[in-house]
Chains A and B, each alone.
Chain A
Amino acid sequence: MAMLEIKDLEVYYGAIRAIKGISFEVEAGEVIALIGANGAGKTTTLHTITGLVPARKGSIQFLGQELTRIPAHKIVTLGIAHVPEGRRIFSEMTVYENLLMGAYIRKNRKETEETIAYVYERFPRLKERAKQIAGTLSGGEQQMLAMGRALMSHPKIMLLDEPSMGLSPILVSEIFTIIKEISAAGTTVLLVEQNAKKALSIADRGYVLETGNIVLSGTADELKEDESVRKAYLGE
């Protein structure tokens, strides 16, 4: 059984059906790319997984547990960390406090300090800026902080929503290298991206989302070779 299994999921905003019955799965250890144009429903899908938006129909199973009835604040305790679109760091708190927030569900303070040390090792720039107010960080640093904050909960799976958004090509590469490292360290990754090329370069498999439907799926190599994907998402 897959780690994360989504079946016939439908999500509405008022009367508008934003997700129209999608199914997909993520196996433990995989990096899965969910690609699609702006407005396709990628963010909505992630929000539904972590309970920020309710599902109307269908199911979301994580390690055999149904998520659609669990309140949002309990979902992180199951091992799901969500790095939201636009980072959503706590911009009036310090970098250090943001990391503490990431460990909110963890009780052992000593262990938390150890995890912070680990995050600082992975993101040395966060360590330099530990006492700085997070809102004053650059876009790339804020993305790193959002990812570091997610790591603080020791997730089994990390959901990343457009981590490359608004970053320079060099920073984008840096962020993707880190995602690969996080995956190599044993965390499963569900990666939402408009930057399909980058996403498919590190993914094992991918799904293409179009106006609330999954229109294509396959291994990353298959998708990279697919005519319609090349045209629509790889700009070729």
Chain B
Amino acid sequence: MESVIEQIINGLRTGSIYALIALGYTMVYGIAKMINFAHGDIIMVGAYSLYVFISLLHIPVILSILLSILVCALLGITMEKVAYKPLRNAPPLAVLITAIGMSFLLQSLALLIFKANPIPFKSIIKLAPVKIGSITIAGISIITFLVTTLIMIFLTLFIRYTKAGRAMRAVSEDRQAAELMGIDVNRTISMVFAIGSALGAVAGILYVCQYQTLQPTLGALPGIKAFVAAVFGGIGSVPGAMLGGILLGVIESISKAYISSELADAIVFSVLVLVLLLKPSGLLGKNRIEKV
């Protein structure tokens, strides 16, 4: 019994990270109607930035975290301006290929600068594990839950109740009508890329603290899983991305522990296919969901 609970806790931890990343995919999709396949590599940039600031430049931890988030947010904005904005009216395939190109570009740059050898990185989370009965919850799990929960609450409130949040929803629903209201669509799209990439940075930081090693391709796997999570929850839906990410993490962790660690990914994808067969728009996709 304890081991089941521990597996679920592990799943929730990975799932929260997937959820953070999935939020970036889903928000960008909602507003720019494109899948930003380079989003996974933003996570990698977040992780490397943290390493540079802490291990190489010896900047205090909190400041390093904030700087890493800033780097990713600026990278997201730049990427949109340089690569995607010129393609606003281009066919979807051109946008897709550009996004994949961006992903390769970021990975190659990391490879060029940091080389292919994995770099060890010591977790910055010093929280001691907590014991509840016979169950032990690792410090990193507690921090991950805390951070992701806070972010999700804050983001939900922001989208629902602030002027900027309403502007994001308006642009995602009808870009022209939003312009008629006086909303600067370019600025709103930039803001969404910045928020999505900032969440990616947080995910990257949590991820590297969990795995404690850096590689140029480290964003690829969580990136693709989180993309699956976003589709699973209903692409374009913010609560869908949260739910999709967390469920995916738990399903993955349980399958790994009790069925087969080799088959875990296959099981995850089977569940995805099943859900999409039954509900093509994903768990919370379609109308009435707060899209961004």
Contacts and interface: CB of A to CB of B under 8 A. Distances in A.
Contact of B182 (A84, A92, A105): A105
A104 B177 contact: no
A104 B291 contact: no
A101 B166 contact: yes
A164 interface: no
A100 interface: yes
A154 interface: no
Interface string B161-179: 0010011011001101111
Contact of B181 (A52, A76, A92, A133): A76
Contacts of B167: 104
B180 A76 contact: yes
A147 to B, nearest CB: 13
Given A104-B163, A135-B287, A82 B170 contact: no
A135 to B, nearest CB: 7
Contacts of B176: 52, 72, 84, 88
A52 B179 contact: yes
B58 interface: no
Contacts of A105: 181-182
A180 interface: no
A153 B290 CA distance: 25
B182 A82 contact: no
A109 B201 CA distance: 35
B183 A93 contact: no
A104 to B, nearest CB: 5
Contacts of B185: 73
Nearest to A102: B181
Contact of A153 (B179, B182, B183): B182
A91 interface: yes
B288 A133 contact: yes
Contacts of A92: 169, 173, 287-291
A84 B178 CA distance: 11
B179 A73 contact: yes
Interface in A97-140: 97, 100-102, 104-105, 133, 135
Interface residues of A, number: 28
Contacts of B180: 50, 52, 72, 76, 81-82, 84, 88
Interface in A152-184: 153
Contacts of B291: 92
A97 B288 contact: no
A88 B163 CA distance: 19
A73 to B, nearest CB: 5
A90 B288 contact: no
Contacts of B184: 71, 73
A153 to B, nearest CB: 7
Contacts of A97: 166
Nearest to A87: B177
A158 to B, nearest CB: 12
B186 to A, nearest CB: 9
A77 B181 CA distance: 9
B290 A84 contact: no
A102 B166 CA distance: 11
Contacts of A91: 173
B288 A104 contact: no
B287 A101 contact: no
A93 B177 CA distance: 13
A101 B179 contact: no
Interface string A45-89: 000001110000000000000000001111011000110100011
11 contacts: A71-B184, A77-B182, A88-B177, A92-B169, A93-B169, A93-B170, A102-B181, A104-B166, A104-B183, A105-B182, A135-B287
Interface of B: 163, 166-167, 169-170, 173-174, 176-185, 287-291
Closest 10 CB pairs of A and B: A105-B182, A72-B179, A88-B177, A76-B182, A104-B181, A73-B179, A104-B182, A101-B181, A73-B184, A82-B180
Given A92-B287, A153-B182, 4 more contacts: A72-B180, A90-B169, A93-B166, A104-B163
